[in-house]
Chains A and B, each alone.
Chain A
Amino acid sequence: MGASSRYKFKLTTLVLTAFLWELASFAAGAKYFPHLWMVIPDLFLVSIKFTFWQNLGVTLWLSILALFFGTICATIFGVAIALKKSGESATKGFVNFLRSMPSLVLLPLLIASIGSSAQTAVLLGTFVVTFQLIIYVIRGVRQTEPRLIDAVKIISMPAYSRILFLYLPSTISITGTGIRLSASRAFGTIIAAGILAGTPGLGSSLLLAESSANYPRVFSYVIVMGITGSLIYNIFGKIEKKFVHWRVSI
């Protein structure tokens, strides 16, 4: 497809977006769904404020922390469960239960017990990431090429080396997908904690804008979240693609 027709499609998308936005604005009332020409200037106003970038940075930082701790927990528990023959069936129901529950529901409990601080958000995020990622780790370890397992057993490689050099690398091709999903969920959780409980970050900014009925501001933040979410998806998508090529197979 030529470059000019690609432009035509992009243009159509933009025009369609503007049209749909104005339609929604018309249908819901411009007070609550501000016109595009009210939101875009507000977006600029927001982006020149230092506090905005601070908030964004905090959100991202907390998400990274949650992703980091969650990955560690998922790896430790996942490898442990996968390697013990009885481990998987015993914990399967338990892990499933915790995965099926929307983790955000623990937020009121956490707030009541430890307050609504950045730590609370990271704790919740870690929880979410762990249970999202653990399935992938278990799957990855379980599908290590059996012939490689035999090979390292024959040369009597000690357990920790086996884990480090055989099992973990085998999970990488699968875990790539898990990490991409977890990154998005970590971001979503940190923001959710902000909206529901006022923990630091963009979520609480959104909450503030909403309670002061500053709807252009609300939409500006939503747009920012969408852009950030897309970036996270793209970056981790690229990482995932690289990992998939590391498939360990004979």
Chain B
Amino acid sequence: MSRFVKQVLWRAWFPLALVVIWQLVLRQSTNPFFPPPSKILSSTRDVINVDWIKTSFASSMLTLSSGYLIGCALGISLGAMLGISEKLQLIFLPIINFIRSIPSVAKVPVVMALMGIGTATRISAISIAVLFPVLLSTLRAVAATESTYLDAARIMGYGRIRELILVRLPAATGEILAGLHAAVQVAILVMVVSEMLGSGIGIGAFIIHSQATFMIADMWVGILILGVLGITLNVLFQMTESRIAPWYFDSKIQS
């Protein structure tokens, strides 16, 4: 058996065992809320082939990626600008920290109140949810650049902007990436919630719809899709992190 297969089996035996136990225990059960895996699998086959789920998934991915990218772009640029100015920090941080303390889910109704129900609303809600943590971690990273790097920059005669672009931002790459990684979770969360509360399109809406029509197995399919999405993005991040910033990520305990 190839090494790769062995590795996969070694890591997968626990969840696989759980699934098997679940199947055996509930095979005959009539509990509607925890259908046996076999039913979930057959539902999956049915669900995936329906056009509606394909458009739902595509719509979800579109809003997720747009919202995430906008939020990250704004978060990094604003965070970098604030990071080099103590005065701006003193003025803006209280506002930013306050808005950050509001639970993300609570912000969704507010955005919906302002912008109605639609794709733009969902994208905006995701952007806002992503913006704040990314801004704060960028700000922290840029402001706390190692003084030794800054000394070297001053000896070499760099001005403030040059210092930001050539020294602070590269030095902060690791921490900024970590912030971007964490923001994915929030983005997925807000995406799902905004779909549940709003429109009728998207995976979140699919899950709610399945719940309302008592298609519980379908609901499980939706949940699993989200789990797979989450973990795929997680793994993607882990793989690229150590390539982009090896000096930051090499012996950090990956989780």
A residues in contact (CB < 8 Å) with B: 9-10, 12-13, 16-17, 20, 24, 28, 32-33, 89-94, 96-102, 104-106, 108-109, 111-113, 135, 138-139, 142, 184, 187-188, 191-192, 195-196, 203, 206-207, 210, 215, 218-219, 221-222, 225-230, 232-233
Which of B87, B94, B108, B227 interacts with A101 by CB under 8 Å?
B227
With a cutoff of 8 Å between Cβ atoms, the chain B residues found around residue A101 in the complex are 223, 226-227, 230-231
Q: Is the CB of A109 within 8 A of B105?
A: no
B residues in contact (CB < 8 Å) with A: 10-15, 18, 33-34, 87, 90-92, 94-95, 97-99, 101-110, 113-115, 185, 188-189, 192-193, 196-197, 204, 207-208, 210-211, 214, 216, 219-220, 222-223, 226-227, 229-231, 233-234, 253, 255
- Of all A-B residue pairs in the complex, the 6 with the closest CB atoms, nearest first, are A100-B230, A229-B101, A188-B103, A192-B105, A113-B33, A101-B227
Residue of A nearest to B98 (CB): A226
What is the distance, in angstroms, from B201's C-beta to the closest C-beta of chain A? 16
Q: Is the CB of B15 within 8 A of A92?
A: no
What is the distance, in angstroms, from B92's C-beta to the closest C-beta of chain A? 7
Kindly state the separation between the CA atoms of A109 and B106 in the bound complex, as whole angstroms. 21
Which of B15, B110, B233 interacts with A97 by CB under 8 Å?
B15
Residue of B nearest to A188 (CB): B103
Kindly state the separation between the CA atoms of A92 and B238 in the bound complex, as whole angstroms. 14
What is the distance, in angstroms, from A234's C-beta to the closest C-beta of chain B? 9
What is the distance, in angstroms, from A146's C-beta to the closest C-beta of chain B? 16
Which of A12, A92, A98, A184 interacts with B227 by CB under 8 Å?
A98
23 A-B pairs with CB atoms under 8 Å apart are A9-B91, A13-B92, A16-B91, A90-B10, A92-B11, A93-B15, A96-B255, A97-B15, A100-B230, A100-B234, A101-B230, A106-B223, A108-B196, A109-B33, A109-B223, A113-B33, A195-B109, A196-B105, A196-B193, A222-B102, A222-B106, A226-B102, A233-B101
Asked, given contacts A13-B91, A96-B234, A102-B189, whether A91 binds B14 with beta carbons under 8 Å apart, the answer is yes
Kindly state the separation between the CA atoms of A9 and B33 in the bound complex, as whole angstroms. 56
Most buried by A among B15, B109, B115, B211: B109
Residue of B nearest to A20 (CB): B95
Asked, given contacts A98-B227, A195-B106, A229-B101, whether A108 binds B114 with beta carbons under 8 Å apart, the answer is no
Most buried by A among B18, B92, B204, B230: B230
Q: Is the CB of B223 within 8 A of A100?
A: no
Q: Is the CB of A195 within 8 A of B94?
A: no
Q: Is the CB of B33 within 8 A of A192?
A: no
Residue of B nearest to A184 (CB): B101
Kindly state the separation between the CA atoms of A230 and B101 in the bound complex, as whole angstroms. 5
Kindly state the separation between the CA atoms of A142 and B197 in the bound complex, as whole angstroms. 41
Asked, given contacts A109-B211, A109-B223, A112-B33, whether A100 binds B231 with beta carbons under 8 Å apart, the answer is yes
